[in-house]
Amino acid sequence: MNKKISEEELLELLRTGEQSSFTYLYDNYSAAIYGVVLRMIEDEEAAADVLQETFIKIWKNFSMYDSSKGRLFTWMINIARNMAIDKMRSKYFKQDSKNLDIEDSVSVVDRHVQTAFKPEHIGLKQIVQKMNPEFSAILELVYFKGFTQAETAEELDIPLGTVKTRMRNAIIELRELIK
């Protein structure tokens, strides 16, 4: 994304607590954040909730953002992902079709699964299609389902060390595909 205001300028505006800077922040980043959250929890209502809570948290905790630790968008998307993970793991949030075993799949084959997530960039599908399935599977678990290293190892039935190397290779491929 090309920003007409540089990140430094935006940070300065945000530090003053100027309301227009918040509007700018929302207009520029809400779609990306909402898209990722929607992809994670696949429920439009819950995703809108998470988006709202995320921006309130960003606004209130802005003073805690440390630019030496990473870029602003990285910080924001991580807040959103953590909130989405909390939501997914909360007992009130039911997950129905997610944990299907292969054994149950016969009936599923004929069922058209509609997910709420419909990206506006048509480039995403292309990248996912080109990606090694092993890599997209590990990205899915870690980045979108919030699995820890140990949980990922258990889910994929691979050693802890392999999680590290596979994740590295997955992101190397991702860098290659979206550069």
Partner 1 sequence: MEAKEYIVSGMLELYASGALDDIGSAEVEQMVKKIPEVAAELKAIQLSLEKYAMLHAVTPPAFVKENLLKVIQPEAKEKVIAITRSNNKFYQYAVAASVVLLMLSSFAAFYFAGKFNSTKTELASLQNQYDTLKNNMDVVIANQSHLKEAMDMINGMNTLKVKLSGTEKHPGMQVLVYYDMDNKHIMLDPGNLPQLPDSLQYQLWALKGTNVLDAGAFSPIAGILNLKAAPEAELFAITVEKYGGSPTPHVDQMVAMGKISI
Touching partner 1, residues 29-48 (CB under 8 A): 30-36, 38-39, 44, 47-48
Binder of partner 1 out of 8, 12, 15, 23 (CB under 8 A): 23
CB 122 to partner 1: min, Å: 5
CA proximity to 45, closest of 118, 143, 119, 116: 116
Binder of partner 1 out of 16, 64, 92, 122 (CB under 8 A): 122
Q: Contact, 79 vs 70, CB < 8 A?
A: no
Q: Counting contacts by CB under 8 A, is residue 165 touching partner 1? A: yes
CB 91 to partner 1: min, Å: 22
Binder of partner 1 out of 7, 8, 12, 56 (CB under 8 A): 56
**119 Cβ neighbours under 8 A, 6+ residues apart:** 35, 39, 125
CB closer to partner 1, 3 vs 92: 3
Transcribe 83-132 into DSSP letters.
Answer: HHHHHHHSTTS---GGG--GGGHHHHHTS----S---S-THHHHHHHHS-
CB closer to partner 1, 65 vs 82: 82
The binding track of 79-98 with respect to partner 1, each residue x by CB under 8 A or -, is --xx--------------xx
Burial 61-88 (b: 16+ CB within 10 A, else e): ebeebeeeeeebbebbbebbbebbbebb
CB closer to partner 1, 90 vs 122: 122
Q: Counting contacts by CB under 8 A, is residue 67 touching partner 1? A: no
